[in-house]
């Protein structure tokens, strides 16, 4: 039934996003990009891809940051175009995608103000997808409660923030806790929304969000070793919609070192593979990269099904990965540091 009516509202946008997806750089493009000697070469090669003239009006010499801005700008323009043409419930779905960028922006701004950086300097670093009206006034708040009352209460993030109000003041540790609590609430809410939407959207998105939740749980656990975060507090930060929930999360909550985390992953076939393939030695991929790789695989698979919203999420994630790849290569080229240039994550 869904496939009958899907195209009435969303056919154009799905077609559009699939078209955009075809513009994502292929393996051949990356092999060419890696061979570039200078950023000018990079620009020349990107001209022959779907990016075409996105750098044409930039005077040389090019900066990596300019490339980054332009990459983001292109993605944001595409996303905004889709958002402007979307109707319910797709528009809500697309809004959900932007919430994670909003969380990142808030955290960035709070951390920045904590370190006495000027707000105008920080604003340029914010991701344009996650900007909102009250964002720039965020530095009036000095406690989480103020933050909530003054800034966030009007934003869609308000319900996620309820759990953090009780924190006393804003220091590094608390900011990190706020970030993770926000993410937890966000992912769980998004998960619920996708479940309610049902159909192929639920199939694809629940898988993607479970992975996202589990990845966060793993990372939180690993990063918490050697900090003053108590195990109870830690357990509160785990998003409870992944495959790890509930047994895996309980085990993670008890973990004391990396080996124990690894032992938890043994019970889950797909995560076991990720942990086995990773390492910190040269030549080995880091766990983070492994997670990214797995995410890319999931997202590419998202395009296999039709008539669902997952493609929009997948496209944004893939595009983000592509930006990371290009920036990585550009940085390596700019700094003449070619030994690690190959550690990008090809998408197709």
Partner 1 sequence: MGSLFRSEEMSLCQLFLQSEAAYACVSELGELGVVQFRDLNPDVNAFQRKFVNEVRRCAEMERKLRFLEKEIKKDEIPTLDAGDNPDAPAPREMIDLEATFEKLENEMKEVNANAEALKRNFLELTELKHILRKTQNFFEEEEHSIVDDAQHALGVDDSRPIASQAQPLQLGFVAGVILRERIPAFERMLWRVCRGNVFLKQAEIESPLEDPVTGDQVNKSVFIIFFQGDQLKSRVKKICEGFRATLYPCPETPAERREMAIGVMTRIEDLNTVLGQTQDHRHRVLVAAAKNITVWFIKVRKIKAIYHTLNLFNLDVTSKCLIAECWAPVVELDKIQLGLRRGTERSGSSVPSVLNRMETSEEPPTYFKTNKFTSAFQAIINAYGMANYREVNPAPYAIITFPFLFSVMFGDAGHGLIMFLFGLWMVVREKQLLTVKDAGEIWDTFFGGRYIILLMGLFSIYSGLLYNDAFSKSFNIFGSSWRVTDDFPIYGPNKSTIISHIQLSPNSTAFQGDVYPFGLDPVWQLSGNKIAYTNSYKMKLSIILGVSQMLFGVILSTFNHRYFKNTLNLFCEFLPQVLFLLCMFGYLVMLVFYKWIYFSAIERNSNCAPSLLIGLINMFLFTYPKAPCSSHTFYPGQQAVQTLLVVMAVLCLPWMLLVKPFILRWQAQRKIGGSMHHRSTRQVPKVTNINGDADDAAEEVVHHDDVDIIHIHKEKEEEFQFGEVMIHSAIHTIEYCLGTISHTASYLRLWALSLAHAQLSEVLWTMLFRIGLSMNGYHGSIIIAGVFFAWACCTIGILLLMEGLSAFLHTLRLHWVEFQSKFYTGAGYAFQAFSFAQIMEFKTDD
Using the rule CB under 8 A, which residue among 44, 158, 162, 173 binds partner 1?
A: 44
Could you say whether residue 137 binds partner 1 (CB under 8 A)? yes
Contact by Cβ (8 Å): 217, 242: yes
Contact by Cβ (8 Å): 188, 241: yes
How far apart (Å, rounded) are the C-alpha atoms in residues 76 and 255?
40
Could you say whether residue 63 binds partner 1 (CB under 8 A)? no
Task: Give the nearest distance from C-beta 154 to partner 1 in angstroms.
Answer: 7
Using the rule CB under 8 A, which residue among 1, 4, 8, 59 binds partner 1?
A: 59
How far apart (Å, rounded) are the C-alpha atoms in residues 56 and 43?
8
Stretch that binds partner 1, among 51-59, 178-186, 262-270, 271-279 (CB under 8 A): 51-59
Task: Give the nearest distance from C-beta 283 to partner 1 in angstroms.
Answer: 27
Could you say whether residue 50 binds partner 1 (CB under 8 A)? no
Could you tell me if residue 62 is left (phi over 0), alpha (psi between -120 and 50 degrees) or otherwise beta? Answer: beta
Could you say whether residue 285 binds partner 1 (CB under 8 A)? no
Q: Which is nearer to partner 1, 44 or 273 (CB)?
A: 44
Using the rule CB under 8 A, which residue among 40, 69, 163, 331 binds partner 1?
A: 40
CA dihedral 223, 228, 231, 237 (to 10 degrees): -60
Q: Which is nearer to partner 1, 32 or 201 (CB)?
A: 32
Looking only at residues 154 through 183 of this chain, which bind partner 1 when binding is defined by CB under 8 A? 154
Could you say whether residue 150 binds partner 1 (CB under 8 A)? yes
Q: Which is nearer to partner 1, 133 or 232 (CB)?
A: 133
Count of residues binding partner 1 (CB under 8 A)?
30
Could you say whether residue 343 binds partner 1 (CB under 8 A)? no
**Helix 64-85 and helix 39-47, axial crossing angle in degrees, nearest 10:** 30
Using the rule CB under 8 A, which residue among 18, 19, 27, 37 binds partner 1?
A: 37
Q: DSSP string covering 204-263, please?
A: HHHHHHHHHHHHHHHHHHHHHTTSS--HHHHHHHS-TTSSSTTHHHHHHHH--SHHHHHH
Could you say whether residue 57 binds partner 1 (CB under 8 A)? yes
Number of H helices, E strands in the chain: 16, 0
In whole angstroms, how far apart are CA 38 and each of 29, 65, 193, 330, 335?
Answer: 16, 15, 46, 8, 10
Stretch that binds partner 1, among 80-88, 96-104, 137-145, 191-199 (CB under 8 A): 137-145
Q: Which is nearer to partner 1, 151 or 202 (CB)?
A: 151
Could you say whether residue 136 binds partner 1 (CB under 8 A)? yes
CA 248-314-242 angle, to 5 degrees, is 10
In whole angstroms, how far apart are CA 207 and each of 92, 166, 251, 295, 297?
Answer: 19, 32, 21, 10, 12
List phi, psi (to 5°) of 278. Answer: -105, 165
Could you say whether residue 52 binds partner 1 (CB under 8 A)? no
Could you say whether residue 203 binds partner 1 (CB under 8 A)? no
Using the rule CB under 8 A, which residue among 26, 85, 127, 139 binds partner 1?
A: 139
Q: Which is nearer to partner 1, 137 or 273 (CB)?
A: 137
Place of tokens 């808030």: 106
Q: Which is nearer to partner 1, 56 or 304 (CB)?
A: 56
Looking only at residues 109 through 128 of this chain, which bind partner 1 when binding is defined by CB under 8 A? 119
Q: Which of 277, 264, 203, 204 is nearest to 238 (CA)?
A: 264
Could you say whether residue 138 binds partner 1 (CB under 8 A)? yes
Could you say whether residue 77 binds partner 1 (CB under 8 A)? no
Contacting residues toward partner 1, per CB under 8 A: 32, 35-37, 40-41, 44-45, 47-48, 56-60, 119, 133-140, 146, 149-151, 153-154
């Amino acid at each position: 039934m869904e496939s009958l009516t899907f195209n009435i509202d969303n056919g154009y946008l799905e077609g559009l996003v699939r078209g955009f997806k075809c513009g994502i750089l292929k393996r051949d493009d990356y092999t060419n990009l890696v061979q570039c000697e200078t950023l000018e070469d990079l620009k020349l090669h990107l001209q022959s891809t779907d990016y075409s003239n996105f750098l044409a009006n930039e005077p040389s010499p090019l900066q990596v940051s300019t490339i980054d801005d332009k990459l983001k700008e292109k993605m944001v323009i595409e996303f905004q175009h889709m958002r402007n043409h979307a109707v319910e419930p797709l528009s809500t779905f697309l809004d959900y995608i932007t919430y994670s960028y909003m969380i990142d922006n808030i955290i960035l701004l709070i951390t920045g103000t904590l370190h006495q950086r000027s707000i105008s300097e920080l604003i340029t670093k914010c991701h344009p997808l996650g900007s909102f009206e009250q964002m720039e006034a965020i530095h009036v708040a000095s406690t989480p409660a103020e933050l909530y009352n003054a800034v966030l209460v009007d934003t869609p993030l308000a319900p996620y923030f309820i759990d953090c109000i009780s924190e006393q003041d804003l220091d590094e540790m608390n900011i990190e806790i706020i970030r993770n609590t926000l993410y937890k609430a966000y992912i769980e809410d998004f998960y619920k929304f996708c479940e309610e939407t049902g159909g192929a959207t639920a199939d694809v998105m629940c898988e993607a969000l479970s992975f996202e939740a589990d990845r966060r749980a793993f990372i939180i656990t690993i990063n918490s070793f050697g900090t003053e975060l108590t195990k109870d507090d830690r357990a509160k930060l785990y998003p409870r919609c992944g495959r790890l929930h509930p047994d895996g999360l309980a085990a993670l909550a008890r973990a004391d070192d990396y080996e124990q985390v690894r032992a938890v992953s043994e019970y889950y076939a797909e995560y076991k593979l990720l942990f086995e393939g990773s390492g910190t030695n040269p030549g080995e991929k880091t766990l983070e990269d492994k997670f990214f790789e797995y995410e890319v695989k999931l997202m590419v698979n998202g395009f296999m099904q039709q008539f669902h919203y997952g493609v929009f999420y997948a496209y944004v994630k893939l595009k983000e990965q592509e930006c990371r790849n290009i920036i990585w290569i550009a940085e390596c080229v700019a700094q003449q540091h070619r030994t690690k240039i190959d550690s990008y994550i090809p998408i197709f």
